Chains A and B, each alone.
Chain A
């Protein structure tokens, strides 16, 4: 095997990945805090008032990043699930399991901010808009995955069953999205779209991008931090765990 392939798999063993995850988690946590601070400052003080929606539109600066994150995290989980099944590396399944709660929270944030934004703009807490409905279904997919993981006690079976559910889910996401869009346009008289009416000025777009990267860094930090405790849970009898500095001290 070419040497490049070997060290590619070096980090697939929990023992070598554990310290690496710690370092990356700390770095991305710092980045997350920094970007969040900048993003929040910009979304309140730099971004101009929207001529149509006044101050209410500022919710977009967390609604859209959270919605993107919820979708992106599910795709990353499906990627790790695929890797786990193909290469049989148990760490990939741990990554998918570690990402699930963060993805579910991001989906909940997207739904919550979507409702809080819908109320002033369209007068209803819940609008059966195609994207909000698909977001709700995505939330059910996350809950299904977490419930399945919780219901299976044997870790190996939980990993592989979860992986199959994720792959089936990721195949279904486009189908669900377009069927909901079809359903929405059928029953929706006026086309209610969540995009703010006015076109996005450069500043608004910049703020949203910064907030998106902040959400990225936050998710990476939390997921890696959680994967460390999952590794500890799974490898608690291993010798390398007992020699860890935090265990021995």
Chain B
């Protein structure tokens, strides 16, 4: 079972590396959205410092949601998805593999890039550290829960917008605890409580989300 998991992850990473542009679009979307806010709100550094956690997290949310569409669509179109449904290994393991690959392509770069953007918002180094930590724990959960939405709206016209409608309400706890952790850390309250809740949500997502996604895939790919 684990070898199937590994092959799926390797396959998806290779496929993604072939179409490098897809990887960068999500990244640049994140950068652009984060850079837009100072233009909208004004360059005063203390306001920027205040809104930084919320802006970063909302941008991460939107970026990961935009990247969801490609998660299953390419396999769905060329029939690879049907083959995956017939594999003896449980489908949720394959889904977990695909989501991990998807996260490595779209989620991890956001985390690695956030320090650079943190400088734009004049964040102190330890704030950036906490930001990266929360994003590191939060973005996988975003991809896992988003995969459910992607599977449900597979092959629907106007699926992109529909995914956001289905998935955003489910992202709210992650947003609250993610942004809250950074804010609590900055204000000295200590973000451990938020971070542990974020970790709990991630664990729940790792265990439960692939099952729901697998069921949704079986329905959509019928």
- A residues with a Cβ closer than 8 A to B are 137, 140-141, 143-144, 147-148, 151-152, 157, 160-161, 164-165, 167-169, 171-172, 175-176, 179-180, 182-183, 186
Contacts and interface: CB of A to CB of B under 8 A. Distances in A.
B170 A169 contact: yes
A176 B177 CA distance: 11
B160 to A, nearest CB: 11
Nearest to B222: A157
A141 B220 contact: no
Contact of B208 (A148, A157, A171): A171
Given A179-B176, A180-B176, A182-B176, A141 B156 contact: no
Contact of A151 (B156, B176, B208): B156
Given A148-B152, A161-B152, A165-B152, A141 B169 contact: yes
A34 B142 CA distance: 48
B51 interface: no
Contact of A164 (B169, B172, B197, B219): B219
Contacts of B156: 151-152
A176 to B, nearest CB: 6
A138 B165 CA distance: 12
Contacts of B215: 164
Majority-rule SS of A interface residues: helix
Interface of B: 148, 152-153, 156-159, 162, 165-166, 168-170, 172-173, 176-177, 180, 184, 197, 201, 204, 208, 212, 215-216, 219-220, 222
Contact of A179 (B162, B165, B168, B177): B177
Given A140-B169, A179-B177, A164 B222 contact: no
Contacts of A164: 148, 152, 212, 215-216, 219
30 contacts: A137-B169, A137-B172, A140-B168, A140-B169, A141-B169, A148-B152, A148-B165, A151-B153, A151-B156, A151-B158, A151-B159, A151-B162, A152-B156, A157-B219, A161-B216, A164-B152, A164-B215, A164-B216, A165-B166, A169-B169, A171-B208, A172-B169, A172-B170, A172-B173, A176-B169, A176-B172, A179-B177, A180-B176, A182-B177, A186-B180
Contacts of A151: 153, 156-159, 162
Q: Which 6 A-B pairs have the closest CB atoms?
A: A179-B173, A140-B169, A144-B166, A183-B176, A160-B219, A179-B176
A186 B173 CA distance: 14
Contacts of A171: 208
Nearest to A150: B162
A140 B165 contact: yes
A178 B212 CA distance: 22
Given A161-B219, A164-B152, A144 B212 contact: no
A157 B157 CA distance: 15
B165 A144 contact: yes
Contact of B173 (A141, A148, A175): A175
Given A140-B168, A141-B169, A180-B176, A148 B162 contact: yes
A143 B165 contact: yes
Contacts of A157: 219-220, 222
Nearest to A178: B173
A147 B163 CA distance: 10
